[in-house]
């Protein structure tokens, strides 16, 4: 059943997240400050977006052409060539996979995380190469003459807002913005707070956190 | 030949296996139980009694309705048995079984086989297990206080949520979410009817997208399990090393019948073929007979126009299913499975025909263990016997079976072109296709395929009213009249689709 595919993905994601406890995790903070639980669906029918829909969404929202957005080893399309079956695709004529797999493969969440990180890294790299066309990592992080100890709070808020707007196509709640802003110190992790590299890493990992969220992956 | 023999053997093994498994489960020292036979017609007979039951959404219920491991009965099955023609000698004939089953079912409706507090009839209609106390009906309605809270949340999980459905339509049919400006504009709409109009407009737009209709698109991939492509033996564009047939013809016809204002029954009734004249935007056109005749050798469609029956008489279908077989049981079983949803290998859709199987090709299918299924499958297969596979070059030939006398014996030539499907006699494959295409099973299968694709699972207990309305609407001349796109417009407005 499709639902087991979803639950499989979720459970393995949780497992992966738990194993990576030393890694910075904005979602941990998110859970701690979440507002009262919304009404739960009595009959949830969420579906996995599948790799193609997922990449098409990110392609449109992050303004990277679909055929350039994610290339494994710089040459294999992440969905079509690399992770097609584990990300819910089919390949009937050669592999005889006529329908999407009904239960998530162990590698499905790993592949999805990899795709999300690929795409976000790609976007921030492009932003740094062509600042005038930047989408996520906009100039102005450190104010005048780079003297600030941390990026300008207004810039951080704006960036968090842009990430949500670009990846999930909605305005984030104040709490969601705060979660990403407070994540900056975890990303810095001993490095200079006003380093452009740290700021770029923060944007990349914030993008990854949002792009690998349930809201981005399921519908 | 080899292929058919293999499949026949598998079917026999399966049919026999059901009984063998039942015996194997008995404790070694237990006394032999009195003869008790699972009845192949039972799943369908049950659904004749309860056509609106959830378990009957595909036209037949599961063996587990009455059995643990057939022929052993569960608590509900035992109650039915006790009320089934008491006094008549066992085992009952199929005829007697079918005659007395409805009243036996009626007699146990108000009992509670699993003592879970819900009567058998309540559980049957709700789709929960009558013999499993942990399986009980549940309600989906939200409490009033939750309803108000959900209405103001990001997703309204208590009702049809137009914003959720709007986004879902874009993702399902166009392959990507609506743009932010598009979504923001939708959220500003206050009038409920206008919201539903916009969902319909988005659907119309996406139904013409390459993501939906294109090669390797959603509709294309829905046909994979029905067509079973294999590139190694593909002819035409991008051929494989041993080109036998071009399944692009099959995919194009499938897409055609499922799109625009076309009749989806043409999956089984079309006497034409379709080509793609443009990939973006997708354009499909019927191929003229002149053009068809002028095709290169490996891509011809040799069955004459008047003998064609849509997807089940294409060159590809004959190549991969009939192959070299006299009585093409695999071909018939695949057609029955793909277009009516009945998998005979799972003992689904059994309509035993008296005095069948005759076993014209001497395969041993009239052994009792095999006859359980072959009494349905063989009469289903006879109308395919005049259509050649690889041997005979995919042509239609009234005298085809004479070519098999040397291998299968003289009796094979006696196999008729007439047969039976869904309990109705048919004189040839065209009639077979007519009966199939106009059946409830076909409408349920078409609707069910889309339901599973778009909702993400088979129709659930609570989905039955909406699901039944859709497949019945597909059949109705005044509702969707076999137009898939019209049905989809209503499917995306169901609670099953639009309630998160």
pLDDT in tens, B245-301: 999 999 999 999 999 999 999 999 999 999 999 999 999 999 999 999 999 999 999
The DSSP line for B109-135 is TTS-TT-SSS-HHHHHHHT--TT-TT-
Give me the pLDDT at residue A62, please.
96
Nearest-Cα distance to chain B for A68, in Å, is 17
Interface contact flag, A169 B180, Cβ < 8 Å: yes
Residue B59: pLDDT band (50, 70, 90) is low
- How many cross-chain Cβ pairs, A to B, lie less than 8 Å apart? 91
Give me the pLDDT at residue B497, please.
97
Interface contact flag, A43 B231, Cβ < 8 Å: no
Query: Would an 8 Å CB–CB cutoff place B180 in contact with chain A?
Result: yes
Nearest-Cα distance to chain B for A179, in Å, is 19
Q: B273-279 and A76-77: which strand pairing?
A: unpaired
pLDDT of B7 strictly over 80? no
Which two structure tokens, joined as six digits, stand for A31? 């859970």
Query: Residues B78, B83, B84, CA angle at the centre, nearest 5°?
Result: 95
* C-alpha to C-alpha distances, B25 to B64, B132, B243, B488, nearest whole angstrom: 16, 20, 48, 46
Q: Distance (Å, rounded) from C-alpha A37 to C-alpha B191? A: 29
pLDDT of B304 strictly over 90? yes
Q: In chain A, which residues have their Cβ closer than 8 Å to the Cβ of B231?
A: 93-94
Q: In chain A, which residues have their Cβ closer than 8 Å to the Cβ of B153?
A: 38-39
Query: Would an 8 Å CB–CB cutoff place B206 in contact with chain A?
Result: no
Q: In chain A, which residues have their Cβ closer than 8 Å to the Cβ of B180?
A: 61, 165, 169-170
Query: Would an 8 Å CB–CB cutoff place B457 in contact with chain A?
Result: yes
CB count, 10 Å around CB of B191? 8
Q: Distance (Å, rounded) from C-alpha A118 to C-alpha A122? A: 6
Give me the pLDDT at residue B54, please.
74
pLDDT tens digits for range B353-367: 999 999 999 999 999
Q: Distance (Å, rounded) from C-alpha A130 to C-alpha A139? A: 11
Give me the pLDDT at residue B40, please.
67
Q: Distance (Å, rounded) from C-alpha B173 to C-alpha B382? A: 40
Residue B101: pLDDT band (50, 70, 90) is very high
Interface contact flag, A165 B175, Cβ < 8 Å: no
* C-alpha to C-alpha distances, B70 to B24, B61, B67, nearest whole angstrom: 11, 14, 5
Interface contact flag, A44 B500, Cβ < 8 Å: yes
**Closest chain B residue to A100, measured at CA:** B221
Give me the pLDDT at residue B38, please.
56
Query: Residues of A near B (CB-CB distance < 8 A)?
Result: 1-3, 38-47, 49, 52-53, 56-57, 59-61, 90, 92-94, 96, 98-99, 165, 169-170, 219
Q: Containing H/E element for B275?
A: strand B273-279
Q: Distance (Å, rounded) from C-alpha B406 to C-alpha B412? A: 10
pLDDT of B370 strictly over 60? yes
Give me the pLDDT at residue A182, please.
95
Residue B470: pLDDT band (50, 70, 90) is very high
- Report the residue from A43, A90, A96 with minimal CB separation from B140: A43
Interface contact flag, A42 B183, Cβ < 8 Å: no
Nearest-Cα distance to chain B for A132, in Å, is 22
Give me the pLDDT at residue B35, please.
39
Q: What is the mean pLDDT of residues B302-315?
A: 98
Q: Distance (Å, rounded) from C-alpha B187 to C-alpha A32? A: 30
Interface contact flag, B457 A45, Cβ < 8 Å: yes
pLDDT of B31 strictly over 80? no
Q: In chain B, which residues have their Cβ closer than 8 Å to the Cβ of A219?
A: 167-168, 171, 177
Radius of gyration for chain B, computed over Cα atoms and rounded to the nearest angstrom = 25
Of chain B, the percentage scoring pLDDT greater than 90 comes to: 73
pLDDT of B33 strictly over 70? no
Interface contact flag, B179 A3, Cβ < 8 Å: no
- Report the residue from B149, B168, B247 with minimal CB separation from A219: B168
Residue with token string 């913005």: A177
Q: Containing H/E element for B498?
A: helix B495-498
Could you give the count of Cα atoms lying within 13 Å of B225 in the half-sphere of its Cβ?
12
CB count, 10 Å around CB of B124? 26
* C-alpha to C-alpha distances, B42 to A17, B330, B343, nearest whole angstrom: 50, 24, 15
Q: Distance (Å, rounded) from C-alpha A170 to C-alpha B363? A: 65
Query: Would an 8 Å CB–CB cutoff place B185 in contact with chain A?
Result: no
Scored b (16 or more CB within 10 A) or e, B399-435 reads ebbebbeeebeeebbebebebbbbeeebebbbbbbbb
Q: In chain B, which residues have their Cβ closer than 8 Å to the Cβ of A44?
A: 157, 500
Query: Would an 8 Å CB–CB cutoff place B340 in contact with chain A?
Result: no
Q: In chain A, which residues have their Cβ closer than 8 Å to the Cβ of B234?
A: 93
Residue of B171, B228, B462, B494 best to disrupt the A interface, most CBs of A under 10 A: B171
Burial class (CB in 10 A: 0-12, 13-18, 19+), B34: exposed
pLDDT of B314 strictly over 70? yes
Q: What is the mean pLDDT of residues B46-63?
A: 80
Scored b (16 or more CB within 10 A) or e, B60-83 reads bbebbbbbebbbbbbbbbebbbeb
Query: Would an 8 Å CB–CB cutoff place B229 in contact with chain A?
Result: yes
Q: Which residues contact A145 (CB under 8 A, 6 or more apart)?
A: none
Q: Which residues contact A190 (CB under 8 A, 6 or more apart)?
A: none
- Report the residue from B141, B230, B457 with minimal CB separation from A1: B457
> Which residue numbers in chain A have pLDDT < 50?
1-4, 6-33
**Average pLDDT taken over every residue of chain A:** 85
Flag the least confident range among B1-5, B54-58, B149-153, B187-191: B1-5
* C-alpha to C-alpha distances, B237 to A62, B240, B288, nearest whole angstrom: 36, 9, 19
pLDDT of B80 strictly over 80? yes
Q: Containing H/E element for A215?
A: helix A214-217
């Amino acid at each position: 059943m499709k639902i087991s595919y979803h639950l499989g993905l979720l459970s393995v994601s949780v497992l992966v997240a738990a194993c990576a406890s030393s890694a910075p995790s904005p979602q941990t903070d998110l859970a701690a400050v979440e507002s009262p639980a919304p009404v739960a669906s009595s009959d949830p029918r969420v579906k996995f977006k599948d790799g193609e829909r997922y990449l098409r969404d990110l392609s449109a929202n992050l303004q990277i052409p679909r055929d350039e957005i994610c290339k494994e080893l710089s040459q294999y399309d992440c969905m079509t060539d690399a992770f097609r079956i584990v990300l819910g695709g089919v390949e009937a004529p050669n592999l005889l996979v006529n329908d999407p797999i009904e239960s998530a493969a162990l590698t499905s969440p790993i592949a999805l995380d990899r795709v999300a990180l690929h795409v976000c890294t790609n976007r921030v790299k492009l932003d740094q190469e062509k600042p005038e066309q930047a989408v996520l990592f906009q100039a102005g992080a450190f104010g005048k003459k780079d003297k600030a100890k941390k990026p300008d709070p207004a810039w951080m808020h704006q960036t968090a807002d842009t990430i949500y707007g670009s990846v999930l196509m909605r305005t984030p709640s104040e709490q969601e913005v705060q979660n990403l802003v407070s994540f900056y110190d975890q990303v810095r992790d001993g490095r200079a707070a006003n380093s452009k590299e740290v700021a770029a890493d923060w944007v990349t990992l914030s993008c990854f956190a949002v792009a690998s969220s349930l809201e981005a992956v399921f519908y | 030949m080899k292929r058919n023999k293999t499949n026949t053997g598998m079917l026999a093994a399966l049919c026999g296996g059901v009984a063998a498994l039942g015996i194997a489960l008995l404790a070694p020292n237990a006394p032999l139980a009195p003869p008790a036979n699972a009845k192949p017609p039972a799943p369908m007979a049950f659904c004749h009694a309860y056509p609106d039951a959830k378990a009957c959404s595909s036209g037949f219920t599961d063996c587990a309705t009455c059995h643990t491991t057939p022929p052993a009965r569960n608590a509900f099955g035992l109650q039915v048995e006790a009320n089934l023609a008491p006094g008549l000698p066992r085992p009952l004939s199929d005829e007697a079984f079918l005659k007395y089953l409805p009243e036996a079912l009626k007699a146990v409706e108000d009992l509670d086989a699993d003592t879970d507090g819900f009567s058998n009839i309540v559980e049957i209609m709700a789709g929960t297990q009558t013999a499993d106390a942990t399986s009980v009906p549940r309600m989906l309605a939200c409490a009033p206080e939750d309803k108000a809270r959900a209405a103001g949340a990001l997703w309204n999980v208590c009702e049809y949520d137009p914003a959720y459905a709007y986004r879902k339509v874009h993702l399902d049919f166009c392959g990507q979410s609506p743009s932010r400006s598009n979504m923001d504009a939708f959220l500003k709409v206050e009038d409920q009817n206008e919201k539903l109009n916009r969902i319909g407009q988005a659907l119309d737009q996406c139904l013409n997208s390459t993501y939906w209709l294109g090669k390797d698109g959603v509709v294309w991939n829905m046909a994979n399990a029905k067509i079973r492509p294999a590139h190694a033996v593909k002819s035409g564009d991008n051929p494989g090393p041993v080109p036998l047939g071009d399944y692009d013809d099959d995919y194009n016809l499938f897409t055609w019948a499922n799109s625009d204002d076309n009749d989806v029954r043409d999956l089984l009734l079309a006497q034409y073929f379709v080509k793609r004249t443009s990939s973006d935007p997708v354009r499909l056109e019927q191929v003229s007979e002149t053009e068809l005749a002028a095709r290169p050798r490996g891509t011809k469609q040799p069955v004459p126009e008047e003998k064609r029956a849509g997807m089940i008489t294409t060159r590809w279908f004959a190549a991969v299913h009939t192959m070299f077989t006299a009585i093409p049981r695999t071909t018939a079983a695949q057609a029955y499975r793909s277009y009516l949803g009945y998998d005979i290998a799972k003992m689904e859709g059994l309509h035993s025909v008296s005095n069948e199987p005759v076993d014209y090709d001497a395969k041993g299918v009239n052994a009792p263990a095999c006859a359980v299924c072959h009494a349905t499958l063989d009469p289903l297969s006879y109308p395919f016997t005049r259509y050649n596979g690889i041997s005979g070059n995919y042509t239609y030939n009234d005298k085809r079976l004479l070519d098999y006398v040397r291998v299968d014996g003289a009796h094979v030539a006696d196999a008729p072109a007439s047969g039976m499907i869904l309990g109705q006699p048919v004189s040839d494959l065209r009639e077979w296709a007519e009966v199939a295409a106009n059946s409830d099973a076909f409408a349920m299968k078409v609707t069910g395929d889309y339901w599973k694709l778009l909702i993400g699972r088979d129709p659930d207990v609570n989905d039955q009213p909406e699901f039944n309305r859709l497949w019945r609407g597909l059949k109705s001349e005044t509702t969707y009249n076999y137009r898939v796109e019209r049905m989809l417009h209503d499917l995306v407005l169901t609670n099953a689709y639009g309630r998160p």
